Homo-oligomer: A and B are copies of this chain.
């Protein structure tokens, strides 16, 4: 487990700044967030490293979005949005088989566009290439090929 010193951008300072901006005391925030006030003190002073749940509670009490808090704590790296594949994977309304089918169709479409991309050789192609590279990096993170290998 990383020590509090390793936290990027000092989440404790971030929380204290937000709290002071909101003009509430440490105890008021602790009560509101449902954590102990000594622990909040330790967090703000960098003596302890709060869990994601605690961060979630503090974020809620400070009316800050959870992703923003996680981002500051280094628990998210700026990719806030799920890609299509990930959205499919977490959708509770699809069966596993449907998820795999949909993912495969998506991949097929995307591959088709990759092949057809050279057909638009102007600035449009440049823009698409840039998007492609960026999205491919994200796509490889979502394990679409792995899902296909199941069948």
Q: Oligomeric state, in number of copies?
A: 2
A70-96: CB near B (< 8 Å → 1, else 0) gives 111001110111111011111111111
Chain A interface residues toward B at CB < 8 A? 1-2, 14, 17-18, 20-23, 51-53, 56, 60, 62-68, 70-72, 75-77, 79-84, 86-96, 98, 101-102, 105-106, 109-110, 112-114, 127-128, 131-132, 135, 138, 140-143, 146-147, 149-150
Closest Cβ of chain B: how far from A1's Cβ, in Å? 7
The contact of A66 among B64, B77, B94, B146, by CB within 8 Å, is: B77
Contact assessment for A94 and B68 in the assembled complex, using a CB-CB cutoff below 8 Å:
no
The contact of A87 among B2, B66, B87, B147, by CB within 8 Å, is: B87
Contact assessment for A67 and B79 in the assembled complex, using a CB-CB cutoff below 8 Å:
yes
Bound Cα distance from A135 to B105, whole angstroms: 22
Contact assessment for A94 and B65 in the assembled complex, using a CB-CB cutoff below 8 Å:
no
List residues of chain B with CB within 8 A of the CB of A91: 83-84, 135
Contact assessment for B65 and A80 in the assembled complex, using a CB-CB cutoff below 8 Å:
yes
List residues of chain B with CB within 8 A of the CB of A138: 65
Bound Cα distance from A71 to B92, whole angstroms: 12
Contact assessment for A89 and B102 in the assembled complex, using a CB-CB cutoff below 8 Å:
no
Name which residue of chain B comes closest to A124, CB basis: B93
The contact of A143 among B64, B84, B106, by CB within 8 Å, is: B64
